[in-house]
Amino acid sequence: MLMMLLGPWTIDVARFALVDVQQERELEPLLFRLLQHFLAHPQRVIARQELADQVWQQAYVDDNAINRAISDLRKVLQHPLLDAAVLKTHHRKGYSLQWNTALQQQFALNQAKAAIEAGPDFVTEDATSLQQAEPQLQPLVGQAQPTPLSAVAEAVVHAPAKTSLWSRRFLWLLILPCLAFGAYLLLTEAKPSADKAGSVVATAIPTAAAQASDWQKPQQLSWAQGMASTPLLSSDKRLLAYSQLNSPQQAKVIVQLFSNTLKATADHSASEAVSLELADHHLQVQNWQPGRAVLLVQAQHRQSGNCSYRLYDFSAYPAYQQQQLDAKCSSGSKVRAVLAADGQMLYRPELEPEQNSVHLVQEELATGQQQVLVNSRGTAMGLLDFTLSPDGRQLAYARLDSSKTGLLYLYDLTTQEQRQLASFGQTGMVLQLAFNPAGDYLYGLNGLELVRIRLADLRVQKQQLPAGFEAGELNFLDDQSAVVSEVSVRLAGRSGSMQVVQLDHLFDEQQRKLSWFWRGKGSVAAVTPNPVKPDSFAFALLQDRGWQIWLREAGQDKQLTELQSSVDPINHINWSPDGKQLVFSHKKILWLYQLEQQKLTQLLPQAEFLFPVFDPSGDSLVVQRDLNKQQQIWRVQLPSGQLQRLGLNQGSVPQFDQGQLYYYRGNQLMRYVDGGKGDQVLSRDAGSLLSSYRLSQGWVYYYVHDKAEFRRFPLHQPDAVEKVTLQQLQLQGKGMPMTFTMQPSEPQPLFVNMMIYPQLHLYLLRWPAFAD
């Protein structure tokens, strides 16, 4: 998964963006290349000339240009939770990124410590001390950071071109809160022994006595591919609405009769439903208007990111009427808006980007008059969620406060007074709050537990969810049941797996065929067919022992290598022309595997090599060598390991096709002649051609992310571009193509590495009564 963490920022490599739970910041290509170079060399002082060579790719760059770029990058990285000195200037030496994996883990631990230390002292009979909790947090940090800095460097250098900032907004709004707050999972329930001045003390926080065996099995309600989230039942429980994300390009709202939904679950069929869609927009469900079948929906333009609120009146379901509200909308916030029962007042989030905080605003629709109910300025991140009580007189909300602790509050709309109910230290990280039908309890799900707060005395109770079931969003059906979604703080550990789809005759609609290469446990990538044996494939597989090379022959799979366990990806598997040897790069070290001898050999000691390919003679390799802060094309003689640079040009991703060497340089495909001025530029589609291109039988194959389509063109006619979309392949909503492999001597089939979207569904959850 091409994502990593830099303090509170999640860096989305595929989209050239910095993201936290409140906002996204898209970087210009130059700034992102500058950031990626610092990420590839953390804590190393990088000279100005190196930046000129590697980022600008010019021999000379004006000092003012570098100064401006460094200043702009510092501004982009600014965050209340990130040290301003993370990008450090070394006088007359250069600059360095003061960050690494250890600091990221320490950052997460510090946030968890702050959450504990800022709240009341916790004392329980079986309480876990912070020292005992820290080791438990380490694997959670690993989930939040799927790929360490050293592994991400390679992916960043060869990252796909950026796509529209808003085209994948809703996917990340679901996943990123889970990434950012994974550290809170170490917090256990406890009761306070003392309280700080001015705050409210919860009287008791016992664990409910109900066991998992007392629960009924959750009943699945949705079956469509994609991510179903934010389930909402109308006041009369007649209609169920929810958001459905089928792909980064398609986010819609589903409305259906709840009674039909329950009936359809018996045979796993989809019940009849109304699908709300708007051209060139993502739709995200907000809330039902209390007492009416009127649904509030947010519509966000895919390209500009501008958003608006719309009302859909389902009084005559399935028919509906719609209108757009004249109200302000903050596109950068994930917090849902609420319409008052009389339809005159809108309660909505308002993002203040400069302060990196979300406020709660009350807006009178008739006049446009606004009032800030909850000012989050000065808090760590601000408003996370809020909900209106059944009588419409109170608001419950959750926010990250200035102490970096998540707190739950109750706001009285009549008296404009508020009181603290609990902290995340007591409840766990809850993404969505809900009042019970009577309005005397507040509920939430922290992923593994159902949490209840009695408003009369602030008593907090929990019940463990059934084993193996996780949930984070809920909407009440009655006092002991609710419709829930699988979106929770633990979602990060379930996203980002890699799978391979096999595409035969990709550009021939009549013969086109699709199948999945791997159905077992783990992530798979880099499937490479043997040039001699059509039923033999080498591939990389990530399981419990890290990435390893495997071989499939005649339908049977076996492991070939015993590399040191690591999540660092294996780079580019390539067969020898006789099909008896494999070469690949792991952690930039070249390895050769001989099948007949079953022998794995490290070819060279240097960790400098990527994208190895056999010369058509089989006597040598051609590789990308990262040396002296440059990407260069080199030859490695076999078996001696003697190195020879092929010309003076910089270049990457060498490939052979029909005996001719090609390479990639600056968004252009180059034909190698002499490694200098004689090399020929071939590509015309330079804005879309990526370093993940492949060559076969005189054709160039590549994938264009912002168009969600595969393309190819013949080398002799670069303008003759053919295209096939993911929708035509029926892959839309299944995942995001990242790279692909194929056999140079035979373009069929194509093996596409797909980052798989998590499949999330809705469930009816019934729980045993809490012990009062």
Paired residues of 529 in beta bridges:
537
Specify burial of residue 769 (Cβ count, 10 A radius: 0-12, 13-18, 19+): exposed
Give the confidence band of 62 by pLDDT, cuts at 50, 70, 90: confident
Residue type, 686: A
Residue type, 78: Q
Coil vs helix vs strand at 598: coil
Asked whether the predicted pLDDT for residue 108 surpasses 60, the reply is no
Task: List the domains of the chain with CATH numbers.
Answer: 3-163 (1.10.10.10), 202-493+759-766 (2.130.10.10), 497-756 (2.120.10.30)
Give the confidence band of 187 by pLDDT, cuts at 50, 70, 90: very low
Per-residue exposure over 432-446, b if at least 16 CB sit within 10 Å of its own CB, e if not: bbbbbeebebbbbbb
Average pLDDT over residues 667-695: 81
Please report where in the chains the tokens 């994974």 appear, as a residue.
182
- Quick one: pLDDT at residue 271? 62
Please give the backbone phi and psi of residue 727, each rounded to the nearest 5 degrees, phi first: -65, -40
Instruction: Give the whole-angstrom CA distance, residue 395 versus residue 445.
Output: 18
- Quick one: pLDDT at residue 707? 78
Token digits for 588?
A: 């930039």
Paired residues of 367 in beta bridges:
none
Please give the backbone phi and psi of residue 419, each rounded to the nearest 5 degrees, phi first: -145, 150
CA angle (118, 470, 215) in 5-degree steps:
110
Other Cβ atoms within 10 Å of 605 Cβ, number: 9
Please give the backbone phi and psi of residue 104, each rounded to the nearest 5 degrees, phi first: -65, -45
Please report where in the chains the tokens 């050999």 appear, as a residue.
601
Instruction: Give the whole-angstrom CA distance, residue 625 versus residue 604.
Output: 12
Token digits for 688?
A: 């879309």
Rg (alpha carbons) of the chain, rounded to whole number? 28
Give the confidence band of 180 by pLDDT, cuts at 50, 70, 90: very low
Instruction: Give the whole-angstrom CA distance, residue 762 versus residue 514.
Output: 29
What does DSSP assign to residue 233?
E
Give the confidence band of 156 by pLDDT, cuts at 50, 70, 90: very low
What does DSSP assign to residue 492?
G
**732 or 98: which leads in pLDDT:** 98
Please report where in the chains the tokens 């492999």 appear, as a residue.
741
Token digits for 147?
A: 């790929």
Token digits for 393?
A: 């007189």
- Quick one: pLDDT at residue 164? 40
Asked whether the predicted pLDDT for residue 157 surpasses 70, the reply is no
pLDDT in tens, 555-589: 899 999 999 888 778 888 999 999 999 999 998 99
Residue type, 568: D
Other Cβ atoms within 10 Å of 279 Cβ, number: 5
Instruction: Give the whole-angstrom CA distance, residue 474 versus residue 457.
Output: 23
- Quick one: pLDDT at residue 189? 31
Helix axis angle for 29-40 and 149-157, nearest 10°, is: 140
Strand-by-strand arrangement of the 581-586 sheet? 570-575, 581-586, 589-594, 599-602
Instruction: Give the whole-angstrom CA distance, residue 431 versus residue 55.
Output: 40
Instruction: Give the whole-angstrom CA distance, residue 447 versus residue 486.
Output: 8
643 alpha carbon, distance to own chain's centre: 40
Specify burial of residue 535 (Cβ count, 10 A radius: 0-12, 13-18, 19+): exposed
- Quick one: pLDDT at residue 59? 67
Claim: this prediction has a pTM higher than 0.75: no
Please give the backbone phi and psi of residue 130, each rounded to the nearest 5 degrees, phi first: -60, -35
- Quick one: pLDDT at residue 361? 94
Instruction: Give the whole-angstrom CA distance, residue 259 versus residue 273.
Output: 12
What does DSSP assign to residue 14?
G
Instruction: Give the whole-angstrom CA distance, residue 74 versus residue 356.
Output: 16
Token digits for 133?
A: 């909790």
List the single range of 65-79, 327-341, 662-676, 729-743 with lowest mean pLDDT: 729-743
pLDDT in tens, 595-654: 999 999 999 999 999 999 999 999 999 999 988 778 899 999 998 999 999 988 889 899
Q: Write out the E strands in 615-766.
A: 620-627, 630-637, 643-650, 652-657, 660-665, 668-671, 680-681, 694-696, 699-704, 709-714, 722-725, 735-743, 746-756, 762-766
pLDDT in tens, 400-431: 765 557 889 999 999 999 999 998 888 888 87
Please report where in the chains the tokens 């798979």 appear, as a residue.
524
Asked whether the predicted pLDDT for residue 141 surpasses 70, the reply is no
Average pLDDT over residues 372-382: 77
Instruction: Give the whole-angstrom CA distance, residue 157 versus residue 584.
Output: 18
pLDDT in tens, 429-464: 887 899 999 999 999 998 889 999 999 999 999 999
Asked whether the predicted pLDDT for residue 140 surpasses 70, the reply is no
- Quick one: pLDDT at residue 270? 55
Percent of the chain with pLDDT over 90: 41
pLDDT in tens, 587-597: 899 999 999 99
DSSP secondary structure, 373-422, as one string: EE--TTSSSEEEEEEE-TTSSEEEEEEE-TTS-EEEEEEETTT--EEEEE
Helix axis angle for 29-40 and 63-77, nearest 10°, is: 80
- Quick one: pLDDT at residue 209? 42
Instruction: Give the whole-angstrom CA distance, residue 703 versus residue 686.
Output: 12
Percent of the chain with pLDDT over 70: 77
